[in-house]
Amino acid sequence: MNAIPDRRALQLPLERFDVSDPALYQDQSYFAYFERLRREDPVHWCAESRFGPYWSITKYKDIMAAEVNHQVFSSELGGIQVLDQPRDMQRPSFIRMDPPKHDEQRKVVQPIVAPGNLANMEPLIRERTRQVLDGLPRNEEFDWVERVSIELTTLMLATLFDFPIEERRKLTWWSDVAIADVTDPEAPVRSEEERFAELKQMAEAMGRLFEERKARAPGFDLLSMLAHGEATREMPLREFMGNLALLIVGGNDTTRNSMSGGLYALHQNPGEWDKLRAHPALIPNMVSEIIRWVTPVIHMRRTASRDFELGGKAIRAGDKVCMWYVSGNRDPEAIEEPDRFIIDRPRARQHLSFGFGVHRCVGNRLAELQLRILWEEILARFERIEVLAAPKRVYSNFIHGIRSMPVRIPG
Ligand code: HEM
């Protein structure tokens, strides 16, 4: 790991700042870089990086300005990450589209997260959460990520797709493959070709289920919705692959890392644990604070469709523009005492972790529901959960991932 110590952020000339370095997120040394960028150069040009030149937007208000201006800041003209996918391996999906096509496809899957459907799903989510928590060992070290975060989010995903429950870990695998940085020695795939081959297998397996659902009356799962949706039922294979990967990653990694990161945040802030135990009604507010604190998606990228001035900087048509949510969520001009984890923070939901504008996370209410139920059920059974070591983090500048975190539940 090629980690740069924090103090370099104070000494390095701004023109040498490159916040796209995944090591900064693996070793959590990014904070000081963004603090300086927000103060001295909030819309920053990085002329040279492994991913080519790019702009960084680091302040809350500038990120919002880009989010709501999809005419200028396009999701379709380039990728959604600072990393460009090789052209012949691109997998279009609605997160990589601009309106109107984006809106038509998004509308197809939206009903799965409608309030009525979430209410219907709540008992099942609770039941599964209880089973997973009741199956945990006592007085014994185990990995929270593996036993709780991955298991719960994967069960959820299998439900959303009506995917065979006993094969659910395939979904976890495909999600990990879809987001891996192929240069990470621990990545599940080591080249774009390998990634493409794995995701093709995913599309084939899901394709069989898709055809089955198409032949049946419309059901209330994501595959059935895609199979019957007017804007999606005739999707070409690559677009099918892209939309599947989007829904699998969207619903998996992000919530998974909030489940792990939230427990770690409470461990680091024992006063907040006490507050939570004394006031369990704070759980919904705490869930929002966890999602801000963890910021599961590090950045999203747009591509400028025309010349545009932002924060006094001249962005040119075709430029890559990254919105760093990890920075906007720690901007003191928008969030009071942003470097403190406060479970009863006022207006906790005003964070950037779900993005904003036309691409604002489809699954935000579902993610909150899963996390709320998890914490309700944790409080109902465990007095304490001891975190035994700092989490091991993923080498990525896109997903703020926790690979493992050893814990013990006394009892
Ligand atoms: C989009 C974060 C959970 C499905 C997004 C975006 C972010 C995000 C940052 C892009 C927003 C933008 O570009 O403005 C998160 C976080 C989650 C989470 C932090 C959990 C804590 C979920 C879940 C689902 C999901 C559970 C699945 C049902 C999607 C989809 C999109 C999306 C389909 C694309 C929306 C579009 O382009 O219109 N999410 N997400 N996400 N998310 Fe989530």
pLDDT tens digits for range 294-304: 999 999 999 99
> What does the pLDDT average to over 269-291?
97
Pocket test for ligand 1, best of 81, 112, 254, 398 (most atoms within 8 A of CB): 254
Protein residue with its CA nearest to atom 39 in ligand 1: 361
Is 108's C-beta closer than 6 angstroms to any atom of ligand 1?
no
Contacts of 184 (CB under 8 A, 6+ apart): 22, 394, 395, 396
Dihedral sign for Cα atoms in the order 380, 385, 390, 391: negative
| Residue 366 Cα: closest atom of ligand 1 | 26
Mean pLDDT, range 11-32, rounded to an integer: 94
User: Closest residue (by CA) to atom 32 of ligand 1?
Assistant: 361
Tell how far the Cα of 249 is from the centroid of ligand 1, in angstroms. 9
Mean pLDDT across 366-393: 96
pLDDT at 5 over 70: no
Residue 249: strand, helix, or coil: helix
Q: Is the pLDDT of residue 265 over 60?
A: yes
CATH class of 8-408: mainly alpha
Measured by CA distance, the residue closest to atom 5 of ligand 1 is: 361
- In the DSSP assignment, the letter for residue 150 is I
Q: How far apart are CA 244 and CA 226, in angstroms?
A: 10
Q: Is 245 in the pocket of ligand 1 (CB under 6 A)?
A: no
Residue with CA closest to ligand 1 atom 14:
355
> What's the 8 CA to ligand 1 centre distance in angstroms?
33
The widest CA-to-CA distance across the chain, in whole angstroms, is 63
Cβ–ligand 1 distance for 293 under 6 Å, the answer: no
Mean pLDDT of 19-40: 96
Quote the DSSP letter at residue 399: B
Rounded Cα distance between 85 and 89, Å, is 7
Q: State what percent of residues in the chain have pLDDT above 90.
A: 71
Q: pLDDT grade, residue 1 (50/70/90)?
A: very low
For 46-73, write each residue's pLDDT tens digit.
999 999 999 999 999 999 999 999 999 9
171 CA distance to ligand 1 centroid (A)?
Answer: 17
Ligand 1 centroid, distance to 124 Cα (angstroms): 22
Torsion angle, alpha carbons of 239, 243, 248, 250, to 10:
140
Give 2's pLDDT tier (boundaries 50, 70, 90): very low
ipTM above 0.95, yes or no: yes
Tokens of 392: 């091991």
364 vs 368: CA distance, rounded Å: 6
**Is pLDDT at 377 greater than 70 in this prediction?**
yes
89 has pLDDT over 70: no
148 Cβ inside 6 Å of ligand 1: no
User: In the chain, what are the domain boundaries?
Assistant: 8-408
Residue 356 has pLDDT above 90, yes or no: yes
Q: Which residue has the higher pLDDT, 88 or 115?
A: 115
- Give dist(CA 282, CA 276) in Å, integer: 6
Q: Is the CB of 324 under 6 A from ligand 1?
A: no
**Nearest-CA residue for atom 11 of ligand 1:** 355
